[in-house]
Amino acid sequence: MKKFKPQPGFAVLAHKLALDPNATAERRLYSHAGGARAAYNWAVAYVTAVWWQRKAEQSYGIPEEELTAWRSWSLPSLRKAFNEDKRTSPRFAGWWEGNSKEAYNTGLANASAAFDNYAKSKSGRRKGRTMGVPRFKSKRKARLACRFTTGTICIEPDGHHVTLPRIGRVRLHEHRADLRALADAGNMRILSATVRLDRGRWCVSLQVEEKHELVKVARPDAAVGIDLGVKTLAVYADSDGALGDEPNPRHLDRAQRQLRRASRIVSRRQGPDRCTGQRPSRRWEKANQSRNKVHHRVANLREDTLHKLTTRLASEYGTIVVEDLNVAGMGRNRRLSRRIADAAFGEIRRQLTYKTRRHGTRLVVADRWFPSSKTCSRCGVVKAKLPLSTRVFECDTCGLVLDRDANAGHNLVALAARTTGSGVAGDLDNAPVAESKPRGADRKTRTTRPRRKAQAGRAGGTIHSPRAGKETGDRQQATRTQLALW
C-alpha cells in the first residue's frame, strides 16, 4: 500500500477510540470482519491452487513451457479476479452484497502483502524472521478487523458517535468532541478507519492528517536518564541530580491466582482437538472467555501504567536517555521471562520515541554495550564484573556506595551531554577514558573469524564476500522467481 505523504505543517497520526455498538451495529461489524477473512482465504486458495497444479504437472513430465500459467498476487489482479468470481461462486452468493466493498478489499490487500512478504523472504530481500507460505485464517482464531478508505467516515457533531460506510452510526465509549472540533476548524482530516475486535471490545482506529503543533515541555533544558528493571520498573536521574523511581506494579503476578483458577476450569471442559477434529463445547468456550477477561484486564492495566509513565517523562524533560536493551534475548531467561514480558521494556521505548517527536524533544538511545551499571558515576572507573544479584554499586577507587539502578541512571544522564546528532544508538562522541578499563567490560566478544581471512590472504586466494555471493545468487534466481517460490 502506498504511503501517504502529509502536507507541510501536518503529520499523519492515529486516534484509537473504543466503540459501544448496539446489536445491529455489532452484527454488521462481525459481518464486515468475516467478509475480510473470507476474501483473504479466497485469495490464498486462488494463488496456491496454481502452485499445486504446476507441481502435479511437473511430476507427470510436462515440459516447462506447457505448464499452467502463474497467477499474479498483486492487489489489482486479485481484485479483478474476485469481482468476477464472487457473483458465481456459491461461497459468496447471497451475502456478499450486504457488506461494503472495503471489507473484501481489506482481505485481498492483506493476502497480497502476505505473498509479497513470503516472496521477499524467500529471495533474501526481506529483513527479520523467515516468512512462510500464507495459510488460511481460521474462523475461531482469526483476528477480526476491517479497514475503510472510502465512503463516509466522520465523527458526528455530538461527539458521541462515529459514522462508518455501510455500518452507519456507532456510539463511542467516550465523548470525543475535541476531534470533531479539530475537523471543523480544518486542522484534521480523516484518511481511513480500521475497526478491530481488540481484547473483547470493538475499537476504531482513525488515521488522520492533523496539524502538527509542538507542545512545550516543562523543563526543556533538563535531561533525564532512565534505567529499566524488573524489581523497580524505572529509576531515573535528571541533570540536576534528583532521583526518582516508578515501582513495578506486576499486574501479571497479581493476577496469577485468578488465572490458575480460570485455567483449571478450562482444562476440565471438553476443548478443541486438532488431531481428532473435536470441536469445543459451549461450556469450554464460556470458561475460555472468562479466562481471556483476566488477560485483557492485565493488558489494559499495563497499558495504562506505561502511558502515564512515558507521558509524564516526555512532557517534562527536553532530553531523555534510555538503553538499547536486547529484550528478545532477555526473554529467553526461563527464570525472568514472565516478569520481563510483564514489564514491557520495548513498549516503553516505542512510546517514548513518538512522544518525544510529538513534543519536539530529543531521545538518546545508549549503545547496547554501554556499561551503565558497571561504571562509577563519580570517577568513571569501570568494573570488570558486576553480577545481577549485586544490587548496590561499590567503587573500589573513590569509595562510592550507591544503588545499582541509581548509579546507572546517573551514567545515562551524563551521556546526554556527550551526545551529538540525532541521538540514535551509536551516534555518540568518544566515550570517556576510564582510569582502569578491564578487557571486555563494555563490548561483546567478536563473532567473526579474521584468522580464516588472514590465512586466505597469505595463501594468495581471493576472499569472497558472503554479501556479494548472495547478491549474485539473487540475480541468477530473478528469472525464475515464481518457480523458486514453491
Q: Active-site positions?
A: 227, 323, 405
- Determine contact, residues 85/39, Cβ cutoff 8 Å: no
Give 154's contacts (C-beta < 8 A, 6+ positions apart): 162, 163, 183, 190
Grid cell at residue 410: 546517573
Q: CA-to-CA distance for 248 and 254, rounded, in angstroms?
A: 11
- Cα torsion 245, 251, 253, 254 to 10°: value is 110
Grid cell at residue 165: 460506510
- String of DSSP letters for 73-85: -SHHHHHHHHHHH
Q: CA-to-CA distance for 178 and 154, rounded, in angstroms?
A: 13
Q: CA-to-CA distance for 190 and 173, rounded, in angstroms?
A: 19
Give 218's contacts (C-beta < 8 A, 6+ positions apart): 315, 316
Q: Which residues pair with 236 in a beta bridge?
A: 226, 244
- Determine contact, residues 340/388, Cβ cutoff 8 Å: no
> Alpha carbon of 356 to those of 153, 258, 315, 415, 441: distances in Å?
30, 37, 8, 18, 31
Backbone angles phi, psi at 393, to 5 degrees: -90, 125
| Beta-strand runs (E) in 337-391 | 362-366
- What is the biggest distance separating any 2 CA atoms in the chain, rounded to whole angstroms? 83
- Determine contact, residues 375/411, Cβ cutoff 8 Å: yes
Grid cell at residue 13: 497520526
Q: List the one residue out of 234, 203, 269 whose CA is nearest residue 14.
A: 203
